[in-house]
Amino acid sequence: MRKAIIAGNWKMNKTPDEAKALVEALKPLVAGASCDVVVCVPAVDIAAAKAAVKGSKIKVGAQNVHFAASGAYTGELSADMIKAAGAEYVIIGHSERRQYFGETDTTVNQRTVAAVKAGLKAIVCVGESRAEREAGYTDALVEYQTLIALTGLDKNDLKNIVIAYEPVWAIGTGLVATDEQANETIGVIRAAVARKYGKAAAGKLRIQYGGSMKPNNVKGLMAQPEIDGGLIGGASLKAEDFAAIVNYDK
Ligand code: 13P
């Protein structure tokens, strides 16, 4: 069985001091969690978060990584840098980066390869817009996004990959995919991975749902057989809400 993984995506929120306070509030609340727990924080908060998670099972992640090892890329951070700062995970290809910062399937792939080769665990985001769903392109799109993101990686690398299925229309909108919709699309992603990497590897790959996941809808989503966790935006900024999601099985 796949171990569930619940990750917070803090997006552009919290200073280092605020990050420390949020992690410290979270620690006792998630001490009994049976899933993996990750907080993906702004890069300037990684060191503070890493220090604050000490003695707990919470892991720290970043929200982006550059594909080059070093060089003239003003404003970017390499995988070695974020790893040295204390990150074990990194979110790659979030729809906000695709929408606002020109991230493409190709750069998502380059960043994913760089992250995995550097020893980070990559949380790779895929998902359709409302127009794409209404036009009937969801399955084709998420397959394509997933397989391109993984190009150049072999099946042994999949243990360092988490896919986050985040329908763009459900992010920050309060609209959540139905349990069945999320399960079905995640099943499509897993089937595509199985065709390329084999059933065994795909069966071990963890695939999260993200998009308005909250304490009041997490149980239904997590009861679905294909859904292995969540990538949580807004609700990850409040310790009680995030902890309630992490403790969905209690
Ligand atoms: P919300 O939980 O705020 O909808 O955000 C989801 C998300 O984008 C996580 O990466």
Q: Quote the CA–CA distance of 191 and 168 in Å, as a whole number.
A: 21
Residue 3 CA to ligand 1 center (angstroms) comes to 21
What per-residue confidence (pLDDT) applies to 175? 87
- 66 assigned to active site: no
207-246 per-position pLDDT tens digit = 999 999 999 999 999 999 999 999 999 999 999 999 999 9
89-141 per-position pLDDT tens digit = 999 999 999 999 999 999 999 999 999 999 999 999 999 999 999 999 999 99
The phi-psi region of residue 54 (left if phi > 0; otherwise alpha if psi is between -120 and 50; otherwise beta) is: beta
Q: Quote the CA–CA distance of 29 and 152 in Å, as a whole number.
A: 39
Find the mean pLDDT for residues 20-32: 98
- 166 assigned to active site: yes
- Statement: the pTM of the whole predicted model exceeds 0.85: yes
Residue 37 CA to ligand 1 center (angstroms) comes to 16
First to last CA, the chain: 18
- 170 Cβ partners below 8 Å, 6+ apart? 176, 177, 210, 211, 212
Q: Delineate the domains of the chain, giving CATH numbers in brackets.
A: 5-246 (3.20.20.70)
Among the listed residues 66, 94, 143, 226, the single catalytic one is 94
Q: Is the CB of 128 under 6 A from ligand 1?
A: no
- CA-to-CA separations, 198 to 191, 193, 243, in angstroms, rounded: 9, 7, 35
Q: Are 87 and 62 in contact (CB under 8 A)?
A: yes
39-63 per-position pLDDT tens digit = 999 999 999 999 999 999 999 999 9
- Residue 248's pLDDT band, with cuts at 50, 70 and 90, is very high
Residue 221 CA to ligand 1 center (angstroms) comes to 15
What per-residue confidence (pLDDT) applies to 119? 98
What per-residue confidence (pLDDT) applies to 183? 98
Residue whose token pair is 């079905």: 184
Q: Is the CB of 138 under 6 A from ligand 1?
A: no
- pLDDT at position 155 over 90: yes
Residue-averaged pLDDT of the chain: 97
Q: Are 95 and 64 in contact (CB under 8 A)?
A: no
- pLDDT at position 174 over 90: no
Tell me which residue of 106, 62, 69 sits closest to 88, measured CA to CA.
62
Q: What residue type is assigned to position 177 of the chain? A: A
Among the listed residues 96, 103, 128, 166, the single catalytic one is 166
Where are the extended beta strands (E) located within the chain?
A: 5-9, 36-40, 58-62, 89-92, 121-126, 161-165, 206-210, 229-232
- pLDDT at position 1 over 90: no
